[in-house]
Structure 1
Amino acid sequence: MSRSLDIIIHYVMGLRIIDTHEHLPVFEKLCEQNTDILREYLLHSFISDLRSAGMSDKSAEQARDISIPLLKRWDMVEPFWEQVRYTGYGQVLDLAARDIYGFPRIDRDTIEPLNSAFMAARKPGHFKHVLKDLSKIDISINDNIHSTGGSLDCDKTFFRSVFRLERFLFPENLNDIKSVEEEMGIRIQSLSDWIDACEEVFNTSIKNGAVALKLGLAYSRPLRFDRPRRAEASHDFNFLRDAWKKKKSVQIQDGRKLQDFMMHHVMSLANRRGLVCQFHTGHLEGAGAMLGYSDPLLLNNLFLEYPDVKFDIFHIGWPFQNHLSSLAKMFRNVFVDMCTAHIISPIAAYTILCEWLESMPLNKICAFGGDYVFVDGVYGSQLITRRNVARAIASKVDTGLINIERAKEIAEMLFIKNPKLLFGI
């Protein structure tokens, strides 16, 4: 380790940072209680690597079934676990086992005592221990994907909230419309009613303290949003509602003009408020999807049309990070968010950050977001991120581009000042 890297890593490890993206329970008391370590650790992220390595969906489901003895489930998982132990997702779990519970790694010899330690820790105070004491996170920006109607109640000790409007942008069945009617005490009979309901949720969410709007539509459709006429969107809305009432099957393209129209309407609302809009781009979590839907280049027209929206582009757009590099350099309203990227592909995140430090304004980059649904994962994610960012910044010291003091200032920008300024926290 070079002297500069040693100094910068030590400095970065001591920073109390901002976390731009999580999916954690909004209150610690809401954590699942009927669980164990495999059920929790295979809930998110790492399970995708196991499936990629060949684990069947049935085996993955059984591995999380706590009615089956733990060692029997470990035997099902182990052959695949060893194939993906060294991915970013795999490293996260071993780091959590080591630093939270004191076990060198997760394997057949440690899984049972590790599970005992895991279960013993499931009591009030574990969130604080992991997020505040070990991870040194001041605030996490949390996406409660189950929140509806603008309700953003959460533990402000740990979180600030984003809100979602996908069901307005991309209604998938009649229940989406009925749920809005029931929650808001209104009747939805036209596109105008749908727009009014969407605006009410938008305004309520802002009033309740939302710091950003989160959009994850890339899992379902391309991120290119054209601008149809209102009459075309109204036709789509009426067609979908009538088809659902008659229990007829519809295709995604049947509602495309409605989706596009609603996206532009929401962007116009966000533009008037100068709101931050977080867009999922790049890698799609799970067992296969249409990756081409998620290229950040598809958002180019929105960047042009809504200059006062602050676009926070997630996951470095990997594997389209070079597209994002140019977009963020071109547009003052486009920001790059490295959330999850350091564990999706640690090397890709390190490499692109080395490039970005010399290719775009420093105030465009937010370094860390864990993107976990369970708290232990956040610890490993932030540790890998701190190391990666320190290495990238130290490389600029080693080449003589910056000195140690400037390196420390840049680290503070990426981990603290930039996200605070972007989200107004």
Structure 2
Amino acid sequence: MTDVYATAADLDLAPAGFVRAIEELPLVDHHVHGVVPRDLSRTAFEELITESDRPVPEWMTQFDSQTGYAILRHCAPVLGLEPHCTPEEYLARRARLGAGEVNRLLLGATNVAHYLVETGYRGDELVGPSGMAELTGAPADEVVRLETVAEQVAAGGCDASSFADAFARELWERTGGARGLKSVAAYRHGLDLDPEPPSRAEVAEAAGRWLRSGGGKLTEPVLLRHVIWAGIERGLPIQFHTGLGDPDLDLRRADPLLLRGLVERAEPTGVPLVLLHCYPFQRHAGFLAQAYPNVYFDVGLGVTYTGARSVALVAESLELAPFAKIMFSSDGWGPAELHHLGAVLWRRAMARVLGRLVVDGEWSAGQAMRVAAMVGADNARRVYGLGTREESTG
């Protein structure tokens, strides 16, 4: 059976400059977090290059994974090492350079022209949007996590009857300069929520239960529905975590198809609903993006964690959805290696998948570059109102 993905030899047959054009394409990373500004021990580094929240067993290393091998292949040369060096060599070089220089080098090599930085998860441990802009010279805007705003409102003191109004005020205040919102309902309950907006009485009753239990992490399903619908009313694009994540998530309840009721109920509002990551449900996300005009998706985190196999993942993401409905993200959090890999592996995958279509005569080189530019940047600029690259850089 013929391999459906382009080999290096195949790409040599593609029009001159095709692969280089994809490598040089300025990207919009529409869902990312900040980098960690401090130096990391080996243990700390390995714990941050996996979605597991358990300690790394002493008999193994996280470098023996698709992500680990991708770091040694694609990040090592950026830090002045040979590809495929040992983990010990890599970490020693990283330590000598220091976190600041590592972040500057790896972020600088991504050619990301705009970052949308989600700040709701352990944001105090990371460089924020302004810090990302300073490190990279690229604009960086905020994406606000809905559940975090609700938790801050509860922590600030309110009673059950006033929660809805207090949340609405705080959400509008927090999002004055934001480009989007995000929900982690997949983690807090699962995506199999009732799609209807709850009544004011239901919200007050649920807020009473939550506040009497001490507030804290928002897992109350009625309130999760409420903050999502308040976000829809706010009118900014809403990102939803779907698919893979750490063990705090029940993957069975993170299938984006479970959002179909909400998608249909929210469709008349015109608010974009953006499905993040999606792996291993990328084909499900593609169906939703084809069927519903308000649905967009990416395969962000899945690209980094599938490493050399991300070519297959990216190919599947391009099967069904209109190309205007797909976006690029890295979901980098912590080590700048994850931000760098998100970009370099996506470019590599797009070059191979689209290059094969060009070589086979299915697409023209112009069509392939048009799709790469749409997915890599143009769709996000349209959805989040970022304007053209020339406008954003002044």
TM-score range, shorter chain: 0.7 to 0.9
> Aligned-pair RMSD on alpha carbons?
3.1
Of residues 164, 173, 178, the one that matches 1:210 is 178
Instruction: Name the CA shift for 1:364/1:89 in 2 (closer, same or farther; >3 Å).
Output: farther
| From 369, 374, 384, the counterpart of 1:408 | 369
Structure 2 residue aligned with 1:309: 271
| 1:106 CA displacement | 5.0
Instruction: Determine whether 1:284 maps to 2:245.
Output: yes
- Determine which structure has more spread, i.e. the larger CA radius of gyration: 1
Match of 2:169 in 1: 200
State the Cα distance separating 1:347 from its structure 2 match.
7.1
Assess, with a 3 A threshold, how the Cα gap between structure 1 residues 300 and 243 changes in structure 2: closer, same or farther: same
Q: Write the letter of the residue equivalent to 2:180.
A: A
Pair 1:349–1:297, CA change in 2 (3 A): farther
Trace 1:171-190 onto structure 2 (pairs within 5 A): 179-181=155-157, 188-190=158-160
**Distance in 1 separating the partners of 2:188 and 2:341:** 29
Q: Match for residue 224 of structure 2?
A: 259
| Counterpart Cα distance in 2 of 1:404 and 1:391 | 13
Partners of 1:300 and 1:382 lie apart in 2 by 30
Q: Cα–Cα, structure 1 residues 411 and 345, in superposed 2: closer, same or farther, change >3 Å?
A: same
2:320 pairs, out of 353, 359, 384, with 359
The residue that corresponds to 1:41 in the other structure is 45
Provide the C-alpha distance between the structure 2 equivalents of 1:372 and 1:164, rounded to a whole number of angstroms: 15
Amino acid at match of 2:165: D
Residue type of the alignment partner of 2:141: R
Deviates most, 120-129 or 157-166: 120-129
TM superposition shift of 1:125: 5.4
| Aligned residues of 2:146 and 2:227 also touching (Cα < 8 A) | no
1:138 aligns with 2:96: no
8 Å contact kept, 1:93–1:377: no
Q: Give the equivalent residue in structure 2 for 1:237.
A: 207
Give the 3 Å change call, closer, same or farther, for CA 313–250 of structure 1 in structure 2. Answer: closer
| Superposed displacement of residue 356, structure 1 | 4.8
Give the distance between the partners of 2:111 and 2:258, measured in 1 at CA.
36
2:164 and 2:69 mapped to 1: Cα distance?
Answer: 43
Farther off after superposition, 255-264 or 380-389: 255-264
What is the aligned residue count?
Answer: 363
Partners in 2 of 1:47 and 1:358 — Cα distance? 27
Q: Is contact 2:282-2:317 (8 Å) kept?
A: no
SS in 2 for 1:104: coil
Amino acid at match of 1:119: A
- Structure 2 portions without partners, runs of 5+: 1-8, 387-394
Give the AA of the match of 2:20. Answer: H
SS for the counterpart of 2:209 is helix
Q: Deviations over 1:3-43 (max 9, x none)?
A: 11874322211122211222214xxxx7124x33x245224
CA contact (8 A) 1:340 1:370 kept: yes
Q: For the residues of structure 2 that align with 1:114 and 1:189, how far apart are their CA atoms?
A: 52
Opposite residue 102 of structure 1, the aligned amino acid is: L
Q: Distance in 2 between matches of 1:299 and 1:116?
A: 45
Find out whether 1:220 has 2:182 as its counterpart.
Answer: no
TM-score normalized by the length of structure 2:
0.81
AA aligned opposite 1:338: V
Q: 1:101 to 1:24 in 2, by over 3 A?
A: farther
- In percent, how many aligned pairs have the same letter? 19
State how far apart, in whole Å, the 2-side matches of 1:93 and 1:197 are: 48
- Relative to 1, partners in 2 of residues 1:331 and 1:376: Cα closer, same or farther, differing over 3 Å? same
Which of residues 262, 284, 299 is equivalent to 2:259?
Answer: 299
Instruction: Name 2:6's counterpart in structure 1.
Output: none
What's 2:145 paired with? 164
Q: Confirm or deny that 1:100 pairs with 2:79.
A: yes
Amino acid at match of 2:325: K
Aligned position for 1:121: 97
Tell me which residue corresponds to 1:377: 338
- Deviation by residue 1:19-69 (Cα, 9 ceiling, x = unmatched): 1222214xxxx7124x33x24522423363xx8xxxxx4556xxxxxxxxx
**1:69 corresponding residue in structure 2:** none
Deviation for aligned residue 1:240: 3.0
Q: Which runs of 5+ in 1 are unaligned?
A: 52-56, 61-75, 182-187
